[in-house]
Every structure is written in structure tokens, then in C-alpha cells.
Chains A and B, each alone.
Chain A
């Protein structure tokens, strides 16, 4: 039994699962060589850090990750999981790449991950699984979601949120219509419905495996769509409403917009509220150095930068160098980029290790930022 005392639950009976199967390559140049979950975000993090931190801070002590390709950078980032306190004797981090050789395997899509790791799920002690992708950005803990799931006795509980201003990124999301007492009445793609499914949900492990078997037997290829959404009438599905700060990133356009949104003090303070840290791989950089000529306004700046030039409405990742006379505007500059003297950048997203040479001028449109791939010298 999970309930120990009234209102107190042991979350260690729930494991985390980050399923990256259906979110590849959505960021053009930024996902040429890495999966979306490993894309740098908000000055010092990677996309996956947000959901992984939420899990870690919820005392979920075992997290598995389904990943099919371009996962080198992801594995480098996650390492042993120590930076999320997930290097454990009991539980810990399990990255499950597609190294499997079952000749009788007929499973497709994310179902093959479940099928080929079935022994892993059966061996684990957790009774519940919290499943998430990496595109929902929030800084929270999942305890209340889990409590809600247990209290209502639902088969599945979806984490949903409401966006009053619907943006293009929400079009790609599943919209939720809720009937009385939080029970989910329909899951559609209604472009006008502001209630958005975050991709985070809780399900009992035994039910999960049962539905997986059914889907595979029926030659299906998408666990959520075919196993849960298609069984809406048969299962009791609850919605748990999350009202903290969040965003959804599933395109270059939304990546840029949601990055820039964090320059608003209110949003910044909401996402990175006091004491609630988002955990990430530690980089050990020095504090950022501003010289006598630097001019920096309305920007998010990570450590290890050396700034001699001008930066406005931009995000600088770790170890960026902005030389004298260089101007960076409305741009996102990733790790270890160098902007040489006199160069001018506007509306640019620059991947890691790029050098912009002296007096070079690069300009994208506000609606369509110019994306520069890794390690280029321009």
C-alpha cells in the first residue's frame, strides 16, 4: 500500500520514464547532430534538464530514458546521473538505447522500446510510472500529480495546463476537454481549446504493460495514441491541472520565442523561483567578466563569459566571448562561441563553438531567426 499516513505518500513507488521516441529533429540545424532533448536551452541547461530535475526533486529515484538515435551528446550530458543525484545503488538512471535483437519482434514505434525492455520494467520495484517527453519546460515537483492520481483511483492521470494566449507551438499538442471532477472527456487537436496536455502522465505499471501488449498484438506504433487515447472510453483518465509557469518547445520558432520570454523578469522569476533549482551538468566556469567597455542590457548571461562589447535582449551560454566593438542583439549564443571585434549579430541562434570573425554582419528576421550550426567559422 502506498499510503503511509493520511496525506503522506511514498513517491519511491513511482519511476520516471522519459520517452524521446516521437520528438526527433524538430530544431533544424540544432538537431543535426543531437536529439531535441540535448539541445541547449536558457543559457546553461539542456531541454531534458527540466523534466529530469522535476523527477529528481520529486524524489523519484529511478529514471529510464528511451532514445533511438543521435544520443551521443545526450549521454555525455547525463553521464552517470550524478548531477541529478541519480547515481544510486537503488534505482538510478537507465539510458536505454535501441540495442536489441529479438528475431520474433513485431513491435513498432515507441512500443519496441517497451517490448525490448520488458524485463527491465518487470524487474523494477515501482508500482507506477511517470512518463514525460522533454518539450514541456517547467520547474516543479510531481508529488501533487501523483497524490491526485492515487486519490482519484484513475487508470491514467494527465498533467494539463492552460495557455490563455494560444501560440503556434500549441497546435502540435493534444488538447484536453475535462468533464466533471477532472475526468477527461476528450483528447483532440482542437486549435481553439486552451487546455493543453503537457505530455506528462502517470499510469500503473501493470496497466502500462497490459496496454503495450494489446498495442503490439494489434500492430500499433504509438503507445499514447493507440494505448491510451484510443481507449478513452474504457479507461478512467483524470486531468491534473498545473498552473505554474511553463512553455512548450517543438520548433525553432517556439524555441526562439520561449527563450526570449525568459528575459522578462516576471517569467524568469517564475521559472527559476528561489530555492527551486533546475539541475544540470556542472561546468565549473568562472563568474562572467565585464570589462570597462561592456554594455549589457536585458540579457540572460551564463558563467565563464568575457564581455567587452555590447549585448542587448540576448542569451549567452557558458564561456562566450564578445569582443570590443561587437554588437549582439536579440540573439541566442551557445557555449564557447567567439564574437570578434566589430562583428554585428541580430536575430541569430548560434550553436556551440562558432566563431564570427572581425566586422562580420549577420542578421536574421525576428520571425525567422538565422540558425548557425556547430563549429562554423564565419
Chain B
């Protein structure tokens, strides 16, 4: 059964820089935005862009992630012919191995891709927060008659050394790719979203697989090889909100962004909804003593305290006299009475005793609170 386009969603990242948040969890499965997990944004983009053939490549701590994705029902990806397929590393008669890199993960699943005999392959990653129409990207790819299209976003010049930077000509043709350059020539950063002509890509992946010294990575090996061979690589400018939530600081920042009135990404946008599971908690109960400002609150919460610039996932209780500032409370958290929290990310099902004070100062990284460090960080 032929499909024009197959989407490969890379969801195997360890997310080392997220510390305790990814202790037992793959990065794409980390809770985000009061009711979602990070991967919901990419999966919802697939649904909203009418991409119906999606392979999800998982590897690290996949239990929660697999349970969350299931057969893809929340994203209409439970389909008869194609839909969602989870692609974990596997062994064959002559052995097998983990996915050694992003490129390796794709070529190891060549059989999956070729079932659909696609013209194009879209590679996206499951750890970014953004709303994007992949169909528009595909149209741009076709118009340019490109071999490869890379989606790019403008980043502040002072941050260019943190990104993979693409140098382009005026018509967006890419002539150079620099990974985390010290003196960048451009501020167009790769978003890790690529469209390839499958036949072209397949050749490069097969060649790369033979190389012992290769990292088998798109950014480090495949794209530089393609540029060296003078293929048609084009950039596609994305001008919406896009955030890599790879560090605790950026994870926290992305949440604070959601509370801004003028953010271009709106969770209430009915034209571009973000879908997830729903665990059927009752509506939130806001008590007589509650004060809520600049906050997001989900079902099943009972709030008697004061919230400012904070996000409550489902089934969180905040008792009387407590003050929660700039904090993120994951599902099932219980905050006792007269607690003070500032710049804290509280992990699932943690109970904070009455009168606790936990705060990170403005210049410090926000505190990730779990049962293991609860005593140690309480002031």
C-alpha cells in the first residue's frame, strides 16, 4: 500500500540534562503543560497536518511512553491500513543492537518504511514544544524540488552556539551546516525536523551504516555528506513558537511561556488542538480561600491556597495558607497547609508536609522535587 509520505518520530532520547525528571522516564513522556506529555505536541501536529503513517522510534525506559502512546487513539492514529507503529530496537537471526544514532534508527527500520513505498520521509523529534503544519513543510519541499528540507527557526544571536546552525543563500539553499559554532554566520537554527526524498536518503543511510567511525547521526554525518555532494538542501523558515525543553531551566521557562497572554502558541486554539489522554477526574474545586493568578489548573485539583504563575496537573491539592509561585506541580501532588514554594517542579505523587518552605532563587536552576530529595531541599 503506497503512501506519499511516512513520518518517523524520534522518541528514544535519554534526556540526561532533565535530571530527576527523566530518572525513570523517556524524555518524550515527561509531563508538560498541565495535562500533556512532551510527545503529545508532535503527535498532535501529525494529526492536525493529516500525517497518518507514523513510526515512533523508542528506546530508553519505554514503559510509560508505550503505555501513553498505546495504539495512538487520542491522535486518531488507530487506523486500519497505516496509523501508528511503535518501533523499538530488535534482534534478527544474526543479532541486533540498540539504535546507535538518529540515522541508524531509521535505516534499522527500513522494512517498515518500505512497506509504504513512500516518496518522502519526514523525521521529527518527540521532545519539542510547538504547533507546526508538516503538510506546509512538505509543500515547500515539493515546490523547491529539494532533496532535503530542514525546518529552521531564528534564534537570538547570543544563543547560536547552543544550536546546529544552517548557513543559506538568499533563496534558502543550504551550503553549510555548523554544529554549535562559536562564531556563527547565521542565526537560523535547525529544529531537528527534516524531509528527505526517501530514495536519496536510503542510499546515504546504507553507505553510512557501513562506516565504523560514523556516529550515525543526521546532524553530524548524513547532512554534511549530502552538502558535500552538492545535493539540493533547502531551509524552511518556521516563525511560530518553538521550544526545546532539554534542560530543567528550559522546561521551566516553557511553562512560564504558556502563562503569557500573547504567546503565539495557544493551548486553547480550537483550530490546532493538542490531544492527550484524559483520566476522567472531576472538575477542579476552587475553595473560598483560594487566590489564583496567571495560572493553569487541571481537573481533579482542590485549591485552597494561593497560586501565582504556576501550573497544576490533574489531581493536585493545595491546602489553606500555602503560597505557590512560579512552580509546576505534577499529577497527584499534595501540598499541605502553609507551604511556600517558589521555582519548584514537584514530581508525581509527592506529598509536601505542612509548613515546608522550598525555593530556588532567581539565578538558580529551578528545584526538581521528588520523594528522595524532599527533606534535603526543605529550608
Chain A residues with CB under 8 Å of chain B are 42-44, 263, 265, 268, 271-272, 277-280, 282-292, 294-304, 306, 311, 315-316, 319
By beta carbon, the residue of chain A nearest B266 is A286
A336 to chain B, nearest CB (A): 10
| A292 close to B283 (CB less than 8 A) | no
| A298 close to B287 (CB less than 8 A) | yes
The answer to whether B15 has its CB under 8 Å from any CB of chain A is no
Measured in the bound complex, the distance between the Cα atoms of B330 and A287 in whole Å is: 13
By beta carbon, the residue of chain A nearest B273 is A284
A sample of 16 cross-chain residue pairs with beta-carbon separation below 8 angstroms, ordered by A number, consists of: A42-B283, A44-B282, A263-B285, A278-B282, A282-B278, A285-B268, A286-B34, A287-B312, A289-B295, A290-B297, A294-B293, A296-B292, A297-B290, A298-B288, A302-B284, A303-B299
Measured in the bound complex, the distance between the Cα atoms of B313 and A272 in whole Å is: 17
Q: In the complex, which of the residues B280, B288, B289, B311 contacts A287, with contact meaning CB atoms closer than 8 Å?
A: B311
| B273 close to A300 (CB less than 8 A) | no
| A286 close to B283 (CB less than 8 A) | no
The answer to whether B216 has its CB under 8 Å from any CB of chain A is no
The answer to whether B296 has its CB under 8 Å from any CB of chain A is yes
Measured in the bound complex, the distance between the Cα atoms of B278 and A279 in whole Å is: 10
**In the complex, which residues 273-312 of chain B have their Cβ closer than 8 Å to any Cβ of chain A?**
273-276, 278-300, 302, 307, 311-312
The answer to whether B225 has its CB under 8 Å from any CB of chain A is no
| A286 close to B35 (CB less than 8 A) | yes
Query: Which of under 10, 10 to 19, 20 to 34, or 35 or more describes the interface residues of B?
Result: 35 or more
Question: Quick one: given A278-B280, A284-B276, are A294 and B292 in contact (CB under 8 Å)?
Answer: yes
| B284 close to A300 (CB less than 8 A) | yes
Residues from chain B with Cβ under 8 Å of A302 in the complex:
283-284, 299
| A290 close to B298 (CB less than 8 A) | no
Give the interface centre of B273, B282, B288, B294 by most chain A CB atoms within 10 Å: B282
| A265 close to B293 (CB less than 8 A) | no
Question: Quick one: given A302-B299, A306-B268, are A288 and B284 in contact (CB under 8 Å)?
Answer: yes
Measured in the bound complex, the distance between the Cα atoms of B284 and A299 in whole Å is: 8
The answer to whether B33 has its CB under 8 Å from any CB of chain A is yes
Chain B residues with CB under 8 Å of chain A are 33-35, 74, 259, 261, 267-268, 273-276, 278-300, 302, 307, 311-313
Residues from chain A with Cβ under 8 Å of B292 in the complex:
290, 294, 296
Residues from chain A with Cβ under 8 Å of B283 in the complex:
42-44, 300-303, 315-316
By beta carbon, the residue of chain B nearest A316 is B283
Measured in the bound complex, the distance between the Cα atoms of B275 and A78 in whole Å is: 20
A264 to chain B, nearest CB (A): 10
Give the interface centre of A285, A311, A315 by most chain B CB atoms within 10 Å: A285
| B288 close to A277 (CB less than 8 A) | no
Give the interface centre of B274, B278, B294, B296 by most chain A CB atoms within 10 Å: B278
Q: In the complex, which of the residues A277, A292, A296 contacts B281, with contact meaning CB atoms closer than 8 Å?
A: A277
Residues from chain B with Cβ under 8 Å of A303 in the complex:
35, 283, 298-299
Residues from chain A with Cβ under 8 Å of B295 in the complex:
289-290
Q: In the complex, which of the residues B282, B294, B299, B300 contacts A290, with contact meaning CB atoms closer than 8 Å?
A: B294
Residues from chain A with Cβ under 8 Å of B296 in the complex:
286-290
Residues from chain B with Cβ under 8 Å of A292 in the complex:
293-294
Measured in the bound complex, the distance between the Cα atoms of B261 and A294 in whole Å is: 13
Residues from chain A with Cβ under 8 Å of B274 in the complex:
284, 286
Measured in the bound complex, the distance between the Cα atoms of B300 and A231 in whole Å is: 45
Closest 3 CB pairs of A and B: A43-B283, A286-B267, A287-B34
| B298 close to A300 (CB less than 8 A) | no
Residues from chain A with Cβ under 8 Å of B289 in the complex:
297
Measured in the bound complex, the distance between the Cα atoms of B291 and A80 in whole Å is: 41
| B299 close to A42 (CB less than 8 A) | no
Measured in the bound complex, the distance between the Cα atoms of B281 and A282 in whole Å is: 11
| A290 close to B293 (CB less than 8 A) | yes
Residues from chain B with Cβ under 8 Å of A284 in the complex:
74, 273-276, 278
| B286 close to A296 (CB less than 8 A) | yes
| A42 close to B282 (CB less than 8 A) | yes
| A301 close to B311 (CB less than 8 A) | no
| A265 close to B294 (CB less than 8 A) | no
